[in-house]
Amino acid sequence: MILIYRSMKKKCVLLFLCSLLVLPLAAEDGSRLWLPAAPEMSEDLSTLDIARCEMALLPVKNALVSTSGDRRLRRYISKAELRSLGEEEFIVRTVDSLCVVAGGSERAALYGVYRLMRDYASGCLAASYDIREKPSYELRLLNHWDNLDGSVERGYAGRSIWWEGDTLRPALYRAYARANASVGINGTVLNNVNASPRVLDSLHLDKVRQIADLLRPYGMKVYLSINFSSPMALGGLPTADPLDARVVGWWCDKVKEIYRLIPDFGGFLVKANSEGLPGPQDYGRTHADGANMLADALAPYDGVVMWRAFVYNPTETDRAKQAYTEFLPLDSLFRDNVIIQVKNGPVDFQPREPFSPLFGAMRHTPVMPEFQITQEYLGFSNHLAYLAPLYEECLDSDTYVDGPGSTVARVTDGSAFPLSHTAIAGVANIGLDTNWCGHHFAQANWYAFGRLAWCDTLSSETIAREWLRQTFSHDDRCVVPLKRAMMLSREAVVDYMMPLGLHHLFAFGHHYGPEPWGYRKGMRPDWLPSYYHRADSAGIGSDRTQAGSDAVSQYAEPLRSIYNDAGRCPETLLLWFHHLPWNHVMASQRTLWDELCLTYQRGVDSARELAGIWQSVAPYIDAERFAHVEARLRVQLHDAVWWKDACLLYFQTFSCLPFPAGVEPPVYTLDELKRIKLDMKHHN
């Protein structure tokens, strides 16, 4: 089939153009995200029909949108080029006055149209095109930590869009799918990794089927997190041993049931033997035994198992070493349709971590990065923290497993060595709030994850500019300062929370606010801040050198030697790898204590600058969003001072040193700060 647009409905064009105008006095609630208003479409359109409807909104007089099998495309694109297009690859080419979008599949054609829409909405639509694009990763997924009761673990934007009551929200799900498709996200895990077995019962699977039907036209597959003990909870079996024939049979039957309902079901995400969840180790089996049992059940349907490497059961071993220690010996034992899902750092989504040493170390098993889009450790929906620099920092990190240039991106996207699958995941920040993400700028992290999943070499600055021009304004008097604010924001959060490689200083449970003194009788040591900062009269920091826990030896050379040497270790990670005296001399020639104090102060100053930048762009922002962000920036500045005072006053009890010149006097006393106890139950 082929569809050539030579005329377009004036009504649709005007609707699209009006949606791009951001007038200072026009109310804007953030519900449209970075997209223009969607065209009116019937509910039973194919993916290609949707692509053509979206294309009709662009100011292009003549357009052809189709798939590579369409013979009429050969007038404009060679047969060889068309045949070589991958399943998600597209060509956009201008031939004479005709704009041609050719996809290797219907969803690829849709991605090509969204490329043009992004350019147009950014004010960058070219007069002529000759581009060819394909994604960096095969599977580009959102992970929703949504519970079946409608709550969202680490969610700060309202209740679950999927599980809040029995309500099905078709219009919302189509808007969700459209937003994801616009940045190339092609899959979603609908429920929490701390999974309830009930998600696999007939009632919930029928709802999953209905959701899948609504997302499918936008090229999205659905996946489910599963509880490893489901055969016992749902099937009445006495065991969940992955080598027990009854268990194997139960999973095979359950998978068959799922694919009968959802023929394009993507597969399972599994968290096992971590934080008390059941898993194969309960039966003396390995992670490979558990993953392979599920993989064999899914293989006939081309489903995948994404097995999380986030494991840290109580042990004397440094928690930062556990994933590597448990999974590396299993490399080459996993089935081809098993992917190991690895958090970007070795601990737990901290504001800054070194990359996980599993990246590149596992050569025979696909390893997929997992990033957090939701801001569990970055101020929830109260703080402006643009996370593309964090994602970029990890993806661009050189693992050196094959010498220089073996970046995390290249060892996970299949360009460094062949992999049976490539994948990347982001833990979603989406809820039923009108603006989807709680904070208007938190939308940028969803957008940035999708863009980097599509092209893992994009710069965070490029992505920020794209998002701002689509979301707020084309006027550089607005875009330039806001881009500066976005690029400043993540480093600001690191500075006022945990600079120089400090980590996990948060209040227990909810992870909002500082509690470096945190202590609870009988608590596991690795749930307490002191396990990580190790502050004492001699100094501060975790000793992960060869003389300490030897976590440095999990990295390839020359990183092993660099991280092991306090004189060569990047100062941004210094206290991650080293316990150093308070008078240790830094590159600035200041002592460690003075550097720490001044860095916390810099974080407060940066938070103040963010608020000032926002005030400067008031003429270009609608009143509704301006007030919303302004209020949160006030909270952020308050919290930055809270963090500075709490951490420095507490660490001063060990250093016994005065604050250097340039550090503002504390607003609070340490005793006052220790009495703060927040009730954050509504966030979970």
CA 657 to chain centre: 40
Q: Are residues 198 and 257 in the same domain?
A: yes
Boundary residue ending a domain (133, 148, 164): 133
**One domain for residues 245 and 382:** yes
User: Has residue 556 been placed in a domain?
Assistant: no
- Residue 260 and residue 352 in one domain: yes
Look up residue 105 and give its DSSP letter. Answer: S
pLDDT score, position 1? 27
Tell me the catalytic residues: 275, 348, 376
Q: Residue for token digits 């301006």?
A: 626
Note whether 521 and 616 are same-domain residues: yes
Per the domain annotation, does 622 fall within a domain? Answer: yes
Lookup: tokens for 531 = 């396990």
The CA distance from 648 to 660, in Å, is 11
In a domain, 487, yes or no: no
pLDDT tens-place string over residues 51-83: 999 999 999 999 999 999 999 999 999 999 999
Contact 38, 178 (CB under 8 A): yes
Question: In this structure, are residues 528 and 646 in contact, taking their beta carbons and an 8 Å threshold?
Answer: no
End-to-end CA distance of the chain: 48
Residue with tokens 């307490």: 528
Who contacts 429 (Cβ-Cβ below 8 Å, separation ≥6)? 155, 156, 157, 373, 374, 375, 381, 437, 438, 442, 445, 446
Report the CATH number that the domain containing residue 165 is assigned in CATH. Answer: 3.20.20.80
* Residue of 594, 597, 586, 575 lying closest to 644 (CA atoms): 597
| Residue 573 resides in a domain | no
**580: CB partners within 8 A, 6+ apart:** 539, 540, 541, 566, 574, 592
The strand pair at 139-143 and 187-189 is best described as: parallel
Q: What residue ranges of the chain have pLDDT lower than 50?
A: 1-25, 682-684
Same domain, 13 and 162: no
The two structure tokens encoding residue 320 = 């930062």
Q: Say if residue 129 is in the same domain as residue 143.
A: no
Q: What is the CATH number of the domain that holds 651?
A: 3.90.1330.10
Interior CA angle at 310 toward 534 and 302, to 5°? 165
What range does the domain containing 82 cover? 4-133
Provide the domain count of the chain: 3
User: 342, 309 in Cβ contact below 8 A?
Assistant: yes
pLDDT at 522: 80
Strand arrangement, sheet containing 4-5: 4-5, 62-67, 98-103, 90-95, 130-133
Residues 129 and 150 in one domain: no
Where do runs of H (alpha helix) occur along 405-558? 408-412, 443-454, 460-471, 476-497, 530-533
Residue 437 lies in a domain: yes
Same domain, 399 and 299: yes
pTM, two decimal places: 0.95
Q: Per the domain annotation, does 264 fall within a domain? A: yes
> What does the angle CA 371 – CA 374 – CA 379 come to, to the nearest 5 degrees?
115
Which are the contacts of 23, defined by CB distance < 8 A and separation ≥ 6? 622
Q: Strands of 526-614 (E only): list them.
A: 539-540, 580-581
**pLDDT tens for each residue of 498-512:** 999 999 999 999 999
pLDDT digit string (tens) for 402-452? 999 999 999 999 999 999 999 999 999 999 999 999 999 999 999 999 999
Give, for 268, the enclosing helix (H) or strand (E).
strand 267-270
Q: Looking at the structure, do residues 414 and 304 belong to the same domain, yes or no?
A: yes
> What is the rounded distance in angstroms from the CA atom of residue 174 to the CA atom of residue 50?
11
Q: Which residue has the tokens 């960096």?
A: 136
Per-residue tokens: 186? 């092609």
The dihedrals phi and psi of 648, each to the nearest 5 degrees, come to -70, -40
For residues 231 and 254, give the distance between their C-alpha atoms in angstroms, rounded to a whole number.
Answer: 9
Are 430 and 313 within one domain?
A: yes
Does 102 share its domain with 179?
A: no
550 within domain boundaries: no
Q: How far is CA 342 from CA 267, 317, 318, 392, 668, in A?
A: 17, 19, 17, 16, 39
> What is the identity of the amino acid at 72?
R
Give the end of a domain, one of 133, 162, 187: 133
CATH number assigned to the domain comprising residue 44: 3.30.379
The span from the CA of 504 to the CA of 331, in Å, is: 29
Q: Give the pLDDT score at 27.
A: 76
The answer to whether residue 570 is domain-embedded is: no
- Say whether both 328 and 441 belong to one domain: yes
> Among the three residues 133, 152, 181, which one is the final residue of a domain in this structure?
133
Residue 317's pLDDT is what?
87
